[in-house]
Amino acid sequence: MNPKKPVNHQKEAVITIRNLKISFGDLHVLRGVDLDLYQGENLVVLGRSGTGKSVLIKIIAGLLEPDQGSVNVLGEDVGKLNKRELDALRLKLGFSFQNSALYDSMTVRENLEFPLIRNVRNLSRADINKAVEEALADVGLSQTINQMPSELSGGQRKRIGIARTLILKPEIMLYDEPTAGLDPITSNEINHLINEVQERHNTSSIIITHDLTCAKAVGDRIAMLLDGRFERQGTFDEVFEDSNDERAKQFYEYNFVN
Amino acid sequence: MQASQTSSSTETAEKPVVTRRLDRMFLALSDVASFVGQFFKEVFAPPYEGKEIIRQCYEVGVRSLPLISLTGFITGIVFTNQSRPSLATFGATSWLPSLISIALVRALAPLVTALIASGRVGSNIGAELGSMRVTEQIEAMEVSGTNPFKFLVVTRVIATTFMIPTLAMFFVFLGVMGSYVNVAQNEKTSFMSFIETFFSSITFLDINSTIIKSLIFGFTIGIVGCYKGYNSSKGTEGVGKAANASVVTSMFLVFIEELLFLQVINAIRAA
């Protein structure tokens, strides 16, 4: 598989992370992370399970507080925002959860309406219906509108999860393991969808994964999390194929050779 | 890291078991207190989530009606039937409605309703919120600009607080009906006469105390279920534990509250 052709992004950082540290008890997960996400790019954060990849995007979304360091999102320091300011910032972020996190007690339509009704005032029923239908059409699942999440397949759930985040037209997308637990064909469809979202909505995205096929297909830039720090950053080829780093080579071989 | 692990495990080993348990208990109590405090902080602040409160009232109230109705009706029949022989010994079966009214209104209705609700509603809330926690639905709500505490916890606690007294009153009504069915089969008493005797034995204090007691029971069931579910962890195992702990803890607290409330009401009656 050929690596994705990098987008010609402007060098304006929409997320800036400096010296980020977090520990859980005696377990030091992030040990001084520095990272920039530039406008319009897809940045893939790679790493083995348990290295703190999901923790990183939860800190970006203000769901976890770091022990040390700063996270600046769209010009705002996440750690210094009050509850209301944080909620306002979160509306500019789309968070696609590993298990989709669809609300089990609601239909697909209600899942999509939920963030819209609660955050956008003075919307008519027609406006809401139009937005829901557009978001579903974006992910190619218009026919599921009245289904319950329990009636959907894993891939469909992922797509609906992405549609739910897109309905508020976010500027930044955070994907947590978008292809985890999916078969290769469905994973490929999700990879296409991530690229489509980037092109159609001009979003900047951080994609957390340990799936190199996904990283190669969607990543404009790869950042590899090793021992709580980003030790390697660059294009896919720079990080893996032109690399002499044993850990990167091992990661590559387990994904593509074994 | 290894050094800190070693020192931490040494510290833990040095602490006596009783001290460690007391530490955990006080930490848990402070956690509960902060959860209850957050409820009172959020309940008066807008937005008020009226639609969700109504939906939860339906879930707690209307969906519990069949079980409450059946239990209330059967309690009325059984309690009347079991009390008759003792009263008949003294030729006092005409006191049956009075006995039933006092038993139902003062103790049985609020207590049995609360116990049924602990099982049905408490476990449901614990499991539902626990499952939402482990599948990241609560976090999804948070990142989509919704206050999950307000939407999930406040609405459920309000629903249980106001629906349990309503269900308890319904329990009394069905209990009276059940009791009359039994009385009508065995004594020649008209319905009007039965009702008149029933109400002549209870006072406003009885009714008010039952309502207040049920409000407290309802609040307890809601807050315990929400606390256990909202703070659940450890995957699906945690969901089961949350549901189970909701029932056990709320039943235990309901009995303790019943005992305390009894002392307060007795003191008011004596005054």
A88 shares contact with chain B (CB less than 8 Å): yes
Looking at residue B13, its pLDDT comes to 57
Looking at residue A37, its pLDDT comes to 94
Alpha carbons B71 and B112: distance in angstroms, whole number: 8
Contact residues on chain A for B4, CB-CB shorter than 8 A: 26
Contact residues on chain B for A114, CB-CB shorter than 8 A: 144, 146
Structure confidence at residue B189 as a pLDDT band (50, 70, 90): confident
Looking at residue A242, its pLDDT comes to 67
**What percent of chain A is predicted at pLDDT more than 70?**
93
Average pLDDT over residues A84-90: 91
Look at B145 and A93 and tell me if their CB atoms are within 8 Å: no
Structure confidence at residue A239 as a pLDDT band (50, 70, 90): confident
Domain residue ranges of chain A, discontinuous segments joined by +: 13-257
Q: How far out from the chain centre does Cα A67 lie?
A: 23
Alpha carbons B140 and A63: distance in angstroms, whole number: 10
CA atoms within 13 A on the CB side of B68: 30
Amino acid letter, A175: Y
Question: pLDDT tens for residues A163-211?
Answer: 999 999 999 999 999 998 888 898 999 999 999 999 988 999 999 998 8
The angle formed by the CA atoms of residues B22, B25 and B31, to the nearest 5 degrees, is 140
Question: pLDDT tens for residues A142-172?
Answer: 999 999 999 999 999 999 999 999 999 999 9
The answer to whether B187 and B93 are in contact (CB under 8 A) is yes
**What percent of chain B is predicted at pLDDT more than 90?**
73
Q: Which CATH architecture has domain A13-257?
A: 3-Layer(aba) Sandwich (3.40)
Question: pLDDT tens for residues B4-49?
Answer: 444 455 555 577 888 888 888 898 899 999 999 999 999 998 888 8
Task: Single out the residue of A145, A127, A146, A148 nearest to residue A136, CA to CA.
Answer: A145
Contact residues on chain A for B49, CB-CB shorter than 8 A: none
Question: Is the pLDDT assigned to residue B129 strictly greater than 50?
Answer: yes
Looking at residue A7, its pLDDT comes to 57
This complex has an ipTM of 0.86
Question: pLDDT tens for residues A29-69?
Answer: 899 899 999 999 999 999 888 888 999 999 999 999 999 99
Look at A91 and B135 and tell me if their CB atoms are within 8 Å: no
Average pLDDT over residues B70-97: 91
**What percent of chain B is predicted at pLDDT more than 70?**
94
Question: Is the pLDDT assigned to residue B79 strictly greater than 70?
Answer: yes
Both tokens of A131, joined, read: 């937005």
Q: How far apart, in Å, are the Cα atoms of A170 and each of A37, A137, B57?
A: 15, 17, 35
A164 shares contact with chain B (CB less than 8 Å): yes
Q: How many CB pairs under 8 A join A and B?
A: 58
